[in-house]
Amino acid sequence: MVPGLNKLRVAIGSSAAIGLRALAKLPYGPQLIRAAASRPGIERWLRALLCVYQPFPDIDTATKYIRRFIPAGHEHSDVVSQLKQFADVTRESDYPVLFYLSGYAPGLSTVFDLGGGIGNLFYPYDRELRLPATLRWMVHDLPDKEEIVLQFAKSRNEQRVGFSRRMEDASGVDLFIVSGALHYFEDELAVILGRLAELPRLVVVNRTPFSQADPIVTTQVGDGYVHACKLHSLAGTIAGMEAIGYRFVAKWPVHERASRVPLRPDLNDTYWGLFFVLDADRRQLEASR
């Protein structure tokens, strides 16, 4: 498409999304939206109108579609700049994690940070928890982040932060953390962890949008970039983790952000954080293998 026409389509989609989100806040607004979206002809028209703001069947389909309109995604320079700023901030939603991790922190030796950006999460956690000097904090993200992760750690004189190219490196770690990134993965968390040779001891999920019903794929649109994302089922995520041997310890709302899917207001919700501990019996079984 012509670049100017692409921008116009996205702008129209943004206005349509704002209008539907406003309607969803009115009495009977969600019912009206769902009734309209249940009619195939109207739904097709609404999807075309919403452009990159519409729901999709899966992340791959969403990514292929949105790249026709907005080429940039996680590699956008503004995303990296924001992550560098976050390294110096302990955000409100970090405090529940710090609370539940505080008793485990002195004994942590390995951390796997899935979708960890530039390793920015390590720095506020280290300031608050005084993580062990022997800790290995492995960031797993897109390949283009590797050099940025290492250079940023070097600029902070930090030896504990490194980059992992392999999911297998998460096997048996003390802490598996995915903060602000689980929704970029198609697979459920239990499926991702279930592929590992040994389950991590602790699992933290934070700053993640969830669906209160069925999973739904949508998008996050920023200034000049867009990401496809999947709102996994909150109840399904917890049940899946329990099924593979984890004890569900706590959940907390993340009021810093909210997810608003224009055509699915019934699924709209705040972001959430979750904390899991591998059951002692399961840990013993893993150790005996």
pLDDT in tens, 6-28: 889 999 999 999 999 999 999 99
Tokens of 134: 């022997």
Please, what is the end-to-end C-alpha distance for the chain in angstroms? 56
Give me the pLDDT at residue 286, please.
Answer: 52
What is the structure's pLDDT at 75?
62
Whether the pLDDT of residue 51 is over 80: the answer is yes
Statement: 77-288 belongs to CATH 3.30.470.20: no
Stretch (H or E) spanning 48: helix 40-50
Can you give the pLDDT at residue 198?
97
Distance CA 238, CA 165 (A): 27
Q: What pTM was estimated for this model as a whole?
A: 0.90
SS3 173: coil
| Model pLDDT for residues 70-109, shown as the tens digit of each residue | 887 666 566 667 777 888 889 999 999 999 999 999 999 9
Domain locations along the chain? 3-54, 77-288
**Measured in whole angstroms, how far is the alpha carbon of residue 206 from the centre of its chain?**
8
pLDDT at residue 288 in the model:
47
Tokens at residue 244, please? Answer: 């593979």
Angle (deg, nearest 10), helices 40-50 and 29-37: 110
pLDDT in tens, 250-289: 999 998 887 788 998 877 667 999 999 998 745 554 554 5
Spatial contact of 180 and 259, defined as CB atoms under 8 Å apart? no
Measure Cα distances from 108 to 134, 160, 168, 273, 285 in Å. Answer: 9, 12, 19, 20, 20
